[in-house]
Structure 1
Amino acid sequence: MREHEIEPVPGLPEKLPEGEGILWQGSPRWWSLASRALHLRGLALYFALMVGWSIWNAASSAASFGEAAFASATSLGLALLCLAVLVVIGRAMAQAAFYTITNKRVVLRVGVALPMTINIPFTAIETAAVKRHADGTEDIVLTLSSKQKIAWLALWPHARPWRVARAEPMLRAVPVTSGAAQVLARALAASASMPVTPVVEQGRGVRDGALPGAAVA
């Protein structure tokens, strides 16, 4: 993991060494990243309930219609302002993020104010899995070997939710049509010389299934 300001190659802090080539590059879809990482839908519902309660309370207790209207407009304005700020933040996070898959590693360039590159060699990846969403995007989760650790705060929002102690990097909100999952699966299988069936966690999580050949010994 390293900070940088100059990119000799888009998404990478330095030129690739001989024998390494880029297989895929892409960015998150901004609305999908913002809505899921910042929980915009849940917050919009919460604000709607709060504004509704404010309108009802103002209408039942205000001395005049003008006071009720002012109180309701103030609550609605504050709610919309909060959501607008979160949308701007989410869009900035998505625009700053750039994912790269080479034939040897996965590289995540993240960070709005100060770009940071996180290099994940295939040898550090224990398993990989993908979850597809109804909006046409998918999340690709990388489970690292026990010897490899990345701070969850350094990864967020490009990390699997609720995995803080052992953070799991995630290529988040990638369009399904980009083919990132297929590219990564083939690259991991080629790196391991043969397909290996990874263990996929059951129950609550972001995984729909493991990528074929996505485990590296």
Structure 2
Amino acid sequence: MKEYEYEPVRGLPEHLPPGEEMLWQGAPRWTTLARRAFHSWKVALYFALIIAWRVLADLAAGRALAEVLAGALWVLVLGLLAVGGLSLLAWAMARATVYTITTRRVVFRFGVALQMIVNFPFAKIQSAELKRHLDGTGDIPLLLEPSERTSYILLWPHARPWHFRQPQPMLRSIPDVAKVAEILSNALNTYSSETESADAAVADVASVEATGASEGTTTP
């Protein structure tokens, strides 16, 4: 994970090396990010309940309607400011975020005031999951190798909720998430097959060399 200023390719700190191809790029849908990461709907519900309680309490106390409405108005203003602030922050974070899937890794670029980038090579990814939402978006958390440590705080909100001890980076609030999950799954499977083939080839070469050395040994 590192900070960077120069971006030769959108979402990447440098050009991809020869043999590596970009398969997909995308970003969170800010409206879903506001609801699920910043819980803007819960804040809106909280203020709605406060307003309802305030109105009922004032009416029960026999206050004039104008006074009741005035008392509820300032609570409404506070609620709108709170929800608006959370929505603005979600929009800014979504706008600053780029998720990239290549044939070798997953790359996160994120950060509003200070942009950062983090690479997750396929060799360090054990598996990926898919969680769909009713609005058609979804999340794709990545389960990393136990030896691969990352920071939940630095990744948030691009981390699976409540997984603090072993943080799981997460492509969050992705539109058309099923298609993206299929792209990632195919890329991981292809990489795994290529890696296994390469390991098998190395093992065969080592076996041949060992056999040749054994046959070339003479007993005095």
- Fold-level similarity (TM above 0.5): yes
What is aligned with 1:187? 187
Distance 1:33 1:138 in 2: 10
What is aligned with 1:115? 115
What is aligned with 1:32? 32
Q: How big is each residue's C-alpha offset from its partner over 1:123-178, in whole Å with a ceiling of 9 and x where there is no partner?
A: 11011110111101121110111001110011111111111121100001111267
Of structures 1 and 2, the larger Rg is shown by 2
AA aligned to 2:67 is: E
What is aligned with 1:49? 49
Moved more, 138-147 or 63-72: 63-72
What is aligned with 1:80? 80
Distance 1:85 1:50 in 2: 19
What is aligned with 2:102? 102
CA contact (8 A) 1:92 1:112 kept: yes
Distance 2:119 2:174 in 1: 18
- The root-mean-square deviation of aligned C-alpha atoms, in Å, is 1.7
Distance 2:179 2:9 in 1: 21
Distance 1:150 1:37 in 2: 19
Name structure 1 gaps, 5 residues minimum: 195-217
CA contact (8 A) 2:138 2:177 kept: no
Distance 1:21 1:165 in 2: 33
AA aligned to 1:193 is: S
- TM-score w.r.t. structure 1 length? 0.85
Q: How big is each residue's C-alpha offset from its partner over 1:173-202, in whole Å with a ceiling of 9 and x where there is no partner?
A: 1112672111110110011107xxxxxxxx
Distance 1:22 1:178, change over 3 A: farther
SS at match of 2:127: strand
What is aligned with 2:155? 155
Deviation of residue 63 (structure 1)? 4.8
Distance 2:174 2:163 in 1: 20
SS at match of 1:108: strand
AA aligned to 2:57 is: N
SS at match of 2:165: coil
SS at match of 1:81: helix
SS at match of 2:171: strand
Distance 2:116 2:67 in 1: 50
| Pairs aligned (count) | 195
Distance 1:80 1:55 in 2: 17
Deviation of residue 59 (structure 1)? 2.8
What is aligned with 2:23? 23
Name structure 2 gaps, 5 residues minimum: 195-220
Deviation of residue 21 (structure 1)? 1.3
Give me the identity figure in percent.
46
> Does residue 1:130 correspond to 2:130, yes or no?
yes
Deviation of residue 56 (structure 1)? 1.8
- TM-score w.r.t. structure 2 length? 0.84
SS at match of 1:139: strand
